[in-house]
Amino acid sequence: MEINNSIERIETEKVNNNFGKKGWGVIIYVGVLYYFMTGMTVDGLNVLVPGLSQLHGMDYNQVLALSTPAGIIALISCMFYGWLAAKKGAQFTAILCLVLGGLATIWYGHANTIVTYGISLTLMVSLVNGFSNIAGNVYMANWFPRKKGLAFGWATMGMNMASATIVILLNALAVRFGGMNMSVTVIGIVMILLAIFTKIFMKGTPEEAGCTPDNLPLDQIKIKKVAQEIPKLTYAKVFKTKETWLMAIAYGINGMVTVGVMSQLVPRLMERGYELNTAIMMLTIAAIIGLAGSYGWGVVDQKWGTKKASLYFAVWYIIGIGFNLIDNTLCLYISLIMIGGAIGGNANFPPSMVATIFGRKDFPLAFTVMNTIQGVIRNFAFIVLAIAISITGSFTGAYMVFMGIEVISIIAMLLLNDSPKEVED
């Protein structure tokens, strides 16, 4: 018999940024973890792949091709990190993954054969996902069960910051320390130092840090005491839960559309007659706009709940892509604002919805399963893109296909029951 003394889950809350000093520390800390995830496993590859392949005399195409299997293995490995976070907590998981991830990153920078490059890349991507996507999100769910929407809105700015600055940072470090391999080494050392910081300062739950969740006064925290036998959550039970699949479909499609649209935004703009440098500048502006989008969608989540916010987001996305299809300069600028603003929400909603439905206690396992499924769906972006372009013959046609696919996200979200639940056997 186990007594479940958990904080009652409440769907929405007034927009209040009073997270407390330690709460803000967690948000900034997780934002840094997110920065490493986006920077070292996505956007940074724009300079890491050509820089390291040239430095070590490896074939560029072979090096680039290894990114796909590394990403798939990382998704699968997150199942272990989710189990670890459920058993040992967010702090332990973050420290372990930061230390090992830092060592793997240093090795990655100095791997001079295809085999060692592939192994080190896979380890780095896997462990970076472990401390950011798993441990980082568990931190957020533990510390902000009621203000999660707003808290995620702030923290996910780290992803947008990475998109806007990581290439500049890696190149600057390469110039300062004598090569892209040394640039990567510096990043790895920072990860290891961050592990020490985590051990000293970053407690996994507010209770461990002597705080209350959401920085609320004790008299505002409603304690729900249920004296009953609680079935132990397992991966099998999460897989059998309908909401897991509906979330994964909805948010996986959002991710697929984001990858498809953003990865081809520069060619799409050049198709419309813009020079390469101008198109790249527009892409950068869209990423910067995503900073405001992160917070904006966090506010919408906080005020109206994650399900309504997710529906608004999908409609917003469809309209934004639609404006991009109109051959008009003003409509193009509107589309860049809307697409850029949508980038942040794409990262906010999945962990927020899992926390809404499964709560703090069951978050690690539930989020891991949902994230793995949505990651598989997201990885179909380039296959869908290739088929759409081959059929329609243009990026315009491909964007129209993605608009249609986004409708499926709306349907899945409408079918979702976002009431807090205990997972049945």
Tens digits of per-residue pLDDT, 293-312? 899 999 999 999 999 999 99
165 contacts 32 by C-beta, under 8 angstroms = no
pLDDT tens by residue, 344-360: 778 899 999 999 999 88
What is the topology classification, in CATH, of domain 20-206?
Growth Hormone; Chain: A; (1.20.1250)
pTM score: 0.87
Closest by CA to 185, choosing from 175, 172, 173, 198, is 173
Token pair in block for residue 342: 């949508």
3-class DSSP state of 89: coil
Collapsed DSSP state (helix, strand, coil) of residue 181: helix
The average confidence (pLDDT) of the chain is 88
More confident residue, 149 or 265: 149
Give the HSE-up count for residue 409: Cα atoms under 13 Å, Cβ half-sphere: 33
- Whether 245 and 357 have beta carbons less than 8 Å apart is answered as no
Write the pLDDT tens digit of every residue in 76-112.
Answer: 999 999 999 999 999 999 999 999 999 999 999 999 9
pLDDT at 194 exceeding the cut of 80: yes
Q: Do 20-206 and 235-415 show the same overall fold? A: yes
**Domain 235-415, architecture per CATH:** Up-down Bundle (1.20)
Average pLDDT over residues 204-213: 95
- Per domain, the residue ranges of the chain are 20-206, 235-415
Q: How far apart are CA 233 and CA 105, in angstroms?
A: 34
Beta strands in 129-277 (DSSP E): 223-228
Position 10 scores a pLDDT of 44
Map residue 413 onto helix, strand or coil: helix
What is the pLDDT at residue 186? 98
pLDDT band at 229 (very low <50, low <70, confident <90, very high): very low
Backbone angles phi, psi at 4, to 5 degrees: -95, 95
pLDDT tens-digit map of 25-60: 999 999 999 999 999 998 888 789 999 999 999 999
Has residue 9 got a pLDDT over 70?
no
In which band, very low, low, confident or very high, does the pLDDT at 222 lie, cut at 50, 70 and 90?
A: low
